[in-house]
Structure 1
Amino acid sequence: MELRTSGDQLVGTAPAGGPCQRPVAQQVLNGSFLGNVFIGDVTLCQKGDACSESATYAVMLFYNFEERALGGLVKMEGGCESDLLKNGMLVLRALEQGASAQPAAAPAPERQVQAPTPASPSGSAAQVAAQRRLEAVDVPAALRQGQQALAAMNPLTASQQFQLVLAQEKNNATALTGMAVAHFLRDQKLEALKFLEQARGVGNQQARAEAWFWMACVKRATQESKVAQEALRRAVVVEGWSAPEGNALVDRELLRLSNEGPNFDALVKQARGRKRAQGRDSQGAGSVSP
C-alpha cells in the first residue's frame, strides 16, 4: 500500500492485484492524524457467507515510532473476516524510507504498484509522524473536551481526546472510562468492557465508582440483568457513586436502568439523592477531577 500525507491528512492507495485481487489501484485508507493517533476509515476485502466482497470501517490506528508501523483494531461486521487482519488487527509497516507500506498479516504482492505522487507537498506517514514526536498534552483540557463530546454523544471526537491522554498517561482512569463509554456509544460492548476493567484496576475510589456504573450500563445492554444489578450496587453502595446533574447521557442510562425493575430503581434513586462532592461535577462519563 502507498501512504501519502498532506498536512495531517493521510491517504492510502492499494495496488492492483495483491491479496484482494483488485483489478486497479484503489484508495482504501483515508483520515487524519492527531499526534500519533490516526482517525479515519479503511476499506477491506472480506469473506463470509453473508458478507459483501469489500466494506469500509471506521478505525483508530496508532503510529509506533520505533517499529515504523501504523496499527489498530478493526471491528468487522458479525461473521465477516479479512485476510488483511490478524486477530482483528490491521498493521501497516514501512517497507523502506519512502511512501509504501503493506499489511503485516498479508503476503506481500508479487508486484508493487505505486499510485501517482500528488502535486502538493507530501511524504510517507512514517516520515510525517516521526518528524512530529508527540507533544505534551494538556491532560485536564483533553479530558474536559472528551467528556463534553461524550455528553453530546459524539464518540469519535471523544475517543480522539482520550487517546491523546492515554498516549501520555496510559493508566489515566478517567480517559480509560471515557474510551469505554465511547465504545459503548458505538455499540462496541466487548471493547467497552476491556477499558472498564483497566479503569477499575488503576483508578481511585471515584474512578472505580464511575467504571462500575458504566459496567452496569453495558451489562444491561447485553441483557445480563443480574450482573448489571451487582455492578450498579457496587457503584452506588460500595464505591459511593452519585448521579451528576444535567447530563443527558447519564440520565438516559439511569432511566434505562430504573426500568429494569424495583431493585434497580431503588439504587438509581439512591444515586440521584446523593450530591456529588464540590468541584467534582461530571462533564460526561464521569468526573475529570483527579
Structure 2
Amino acid sequence: MNSTYQADAFGPIELRSDGEHLVGTAPAGGPCQRPVAEQILTGDFQGNVFLGELTLCQTGDTCTPSRSFPVMLVYNVEERALGGVVKLEDSCDSPALPKNRMLVLRATEQGAALTPTLTPASAQAPEQRQAQAPVPPPSGGAAQIAAQRRLEPLDVAATLKLGQSMLASQNAIGASQQFQLVLSQEKEKNNAWALTGMGVSHYLRKQQPEALKYLEQARSVGPGPARAEAWFWMACVKRAAQETRVAQEALRRAVTEGWSPPEGNALVERELQQFAKEGTVYEAQLKQARGRKRVQGRDPQGAGSASP
C-alpha cells in the first residue's frame, strides 16, 4: 500500500509499508499546521488490522495541543481504504477529524466517489444496524469496527502474556497494541490485566493522566491479584510525580491486597529500586512485598479470572 492516502479533513499522508510494518508521513501545513513534514503514523498489521499510534493536534481549553493516540484501523483491500475511530482526550476535538472522529484514509487515485465500507453504525442502512448488535467501544470505536470485520477469535491469555513480555522489555508501544487487542473484545472490555497493561504502557511513555485513568479502572473492576497489581503501578506513577504521600498509600494498598514482585522482571525491579532510593519512606512496604513469593505457573486469563 505504498501510496498517498487522504481523508477530507485529515489531508494527505504518504503511507509506506515494509512487510507488516507501516509508517505514514504528513506534509507541512494541513489542518494541524505542521511546520515541517512529520511522521505521524506508525505500527504493524496483524492480518487486515493495523495496530499503532497516530499523532494529531487537538483543540479545547484543557487539551494537549498535540499528542499520539493508540489506534486500531482496518484495511479494506478492495477499496484501498484504511479506517477506524480515533479516541481523543475527553472533551477535545481535532481539526483533522470529523465530529464522529471516524478516520477513513483512501488511496488518492481511487477518487472521492468511492464509499468505503468502514462507516459509523449511524450511517449504515437500517437492516444493517439490525443485523449487528451494538458493541460498546472500549477504545474509541475500534472494537465495533473489528466486530464488523468478523475477526478471528482472540487467544486472550496468549495476547496478555505477549503484552506483558513486551512491557518487561519496556516496549511500551508494542505492549499497548496487544492490550488494545484484548480490550477490543466485547467480553474483555473490562479485563483488569489489559487495563493495567495499558496504564503501565502510558506510564513508560510519561503520559501520567492516561496511565492513572487506566489503572483506576483496573483497580475498580479487577479481582484481588489484578487489583493489587493496579495499586502497585499507581504507586509507581505517583512516586514519579513526587506525590510521596499518595504513592506510599498506594503501595501499602498493593501489599495489603497481596502484591509481590514477579521473579526476573527487570521493569518491576527498576521500580522497586526507585522506591528504595527514597530512603525509609517505603521501606516497610518493600520489605513485606519482597518477603513473599508470587505464585508461579499461572498466566493472566480473561475478564473475571482471579489468576495472577
- TM-score w.r.t. the length of structure 2 is 0.64
- RCO comparison, higher one (Cα < 8 Å, 6+): 1
| Distance of aligned partners of 1:181 and 1:288 in 2 relative to their CA distance in 1, 3 Å threshold | farther
Unaligned runs of 5+ in 2: 1-5, 8-12, 76-82, 120-144
| Distance of aligned partners of 1:117 and 1:230 in 2 relative to their CA distance in 1, 3 Å threshold | same
Deviation at 1:273, TM superposition (A): 0.8
Partners of 2:271 and 2:27 in 1: CA distance: 46
2:165 corresponds to = 148
1:177-196 correspondence runs (5 A): 177-196=196-215
SS of alignment partner, residue 62 of structure 1: strand
Match status 1:209 vs 2:221: no
Match status 1:138 vs 2:155: yes
1:240-259 correspondence runs (5 A): 240-259=258-277
SS of alignment partner, residue 39 of structure 1: strand
Deviation at 1:44, TM superposition (A): 5.0
Match status 1:84 vs 2:90: no
| Distance of aligned partners of 1:213 and 1:272 in 2 relative to their CA distance in 1, 3 Å threshold | same
Match status 1:198 vs 2:217: yes
2:295 corresponds to = 277
Contact 2:24 2:42 in 1 (8 A): yes
| Distance of aligned partners of 1:15 and 1:261 in 2 relative to their CA distance in 1, 3 Å threshold | closer
| Distance of aligned partners of 1:38 and 1:275 in 2 relative to their CA distance in 1, 3 Å threshold | closer
| Distance of aligned partners of 1:36 and 1:262 in 2 relative to their CA distance in 1, 3 Å threshold | same
| Distance of aligned partners of 1:189 and 1:37 in 2 relative to their CA distance in 1, 3 Å threshold | farther
2:118 corresponds to = 126
1:167 corresponds to = 184
1:26-82 CA-partner distances (Å, limit 9, x unpaired): 986554444655314446599xxxx9xx97x543123599xx74212379xxxxx96
Partners of 2:249 and 2:58 in 1: CA distance: 42
| Distance of aligned partners of 1:280 and 1:272 in 2 relative to their CA distance in 1, 3 Å threshold | farther
Contact 2:22 2:43 in 1 (8 A): yes
| Distance of aligned partners of 1:211 and 1:174 in 2 relative to their CA distance in 1, 3 Å threshold | same
Contact 1:177 1:196 in 2 (8 A): yes
| Distance of aligned partners of 1:256 and 1:226 in 2 relative to their CA distance in 1, 3 Å threshold | same
Deviation at 1:243, TM superposition (A): 1.5
Unaligned runs of 5+ in 1: 76-80, 101-113
Match status 1:72 vs 2:83: no
1:108 corresponds to = none
Q: 2:51 aligns with which of 12, 18, 38?
A: 38
Contact 2:182 2:194 in 1 (8 A): yes
Deviation at 1:137, TM superposition (A): 0.7
Partners of 1:138 and 1:124 in 2: CA distance: 29
Residue type of the partner of 1:146?
G
Match status 1:115 vs 2:115: no
Amino-acid identity (%): 54
| Distance of aligned partners of 1:162 and 1:262 in 2 relative to their CA distance in 1, 3 Å threshold | same
Partners of 1:13 and 1:126 in 2: CA distance: 22
Deviation at 1:255, TM superposition (A): 0.9
Deviation at 1:218, TM superposition (A): 0.3
1:101-112 correspondence runs (5 A): none
